[in-house]
Amino acid sequence: MTSTPTVKADGTVLTGVSETALMTLCVRANEARRPDGIIDDPMAIRLVDSIDFDFAKFGFTRRQDMALRALGFDTMARRYLAEYPRATVVALAEGLQTSFYRIDARGLGGQFRWLTVDLPPIIELRRKLLPPSDRVTMCAQSALDFSWMDQVDASDGVFITAEGLLMYLQPEEAMGLITECARRFPGGQMMFDLPPAWFAAWARRGMRTSLRYRVPPMPFSLSPSQAAELVNTVPGIRAVHDLPMPAGRGRVFNALLWTMQRLPLFDNVRPVWTLLEFG
Ligand SMILES: C[S@@+](CC[C@H](N)C(=O)[O-])C[C@H]1O[C@@H](n2cnc3c(N)ncnc32)[C@H](O)[C@@H]1O
């Protein structure tokens, strides 16, 4: 994507959970536009500018949380790729993320491969708007249709991301996906995020971000201690790591993050970022 096309792509083709990818993209792009932004993501800015959509309907999108989450996933993927430079990153529910380009720009040797798995309308937009690469493959299907796993060459390592996905699945679907990834990819790793249980309960019927937008229901969540238990309940998981969030912008914000991550008192009210090691 070198410049913003004159004819924009229609964003209204995305509905339901897929529409939320426009919101997270918009938040990252707004953050990237700031002179003191925490994320360097020119492609996210160009992507927003290339999509014809009423982004204002999402309400307040000048916040740093989604950029922080993206940076957290980038950091762990880069850490894995530093050890396994020819590995495949599988981005489940990648939406309109631009992680491949951000990570590739950091110079990791250009040997890693990328598999995007998302629903057909998202993949169609990605094909239209993002620059192709012979290292990127796209699967236009549900992550719950496990046939995408047949496309992964696991011989050089696999890092699976589920950024902003599992909360939208039914509990048995989310657990089934984790279980199958652990079974199929020994030696690989999987990272996912989940909102705190109270938030998920509140958002169960769909949370309003504005008068015109309601986020779809989030039926699945885990507390940090429930996530830690996965090592005992899911065959093939050999370690579970509760990941800290990277520092964001602002002293008060960072002090709050620091406190919530260190005091068990806040375990049930903080989001969970989990890294699973398989094998
Ligand atoms: C909140 S967005 C997250 C997008 C992206 N990962 C991000 O962080 O910006 C949720 C994404 O999940 C995708 N999605 C929902 N159900 C899915 C499924 N069963 N399989 C694959 N993707 C799915 C949607 O199309 C959408 O792209």
Q: Which has the higher per-residue pLDDT, 238 or 261?
A: 238
Q: Report yes or no: 119 and 125 within 8 Å, Cβ to Cβ.
A: no
Instruction: Using alpha carbons only, give the angle 50, 93, 18 rounded to the nearest 5 degrees.
Output: 55
Per-residue pLDDT tens over the stretch 163-206: 999 999 999 999 999 999 999 999 999 999 999 877 777 777 77
pLDDT, one tens digit per residue, over 66-81 is 999 999 999 999 999 9
Task: Enumerate residues 6+ apart whose C-beta is below 8 A from 237.
Answer: 178, 182, 230, 231, 276, 277, 278
Q: Can you tell me the distance from the alpha carbon of 212 to that of 39, in angstroms, rounded to the nearest whole number?
A: 28
- What per-residue confidence (pLDDT) applies to 5? 60
Decide: 20 in ligand 1 pocket, CB within 6 A: yes
Best probe residue, ligand 1, of 15, 17, 74, 163 (max atoms within 8 Å of C-beta): 17
Q: Is the CB of 195 under 6 A from ligand 1?
A: no
Could you tell me the distance, in angstroms and rounded to a whole number, from the CA of residue 153 to the centre of ligand 1? 23
pLDDT of residue 3: 58
Mean pLDDT, rounded, of the chain: 94
Q: Which of 6-10, 30-34, 38-42, 274-278 has the lowest mean pLDDT?
A: 6-10
* Predicted confidence band of residue 237 (pLDDT cuts 50, 70, 90): very high
Q: What is the pTM of this model?
A: 0.95
pLDDT band at 243 (very low <50, low <70, confident <90, very high): very high
Atom of ligand 1 nearest to the CA of 70: 8
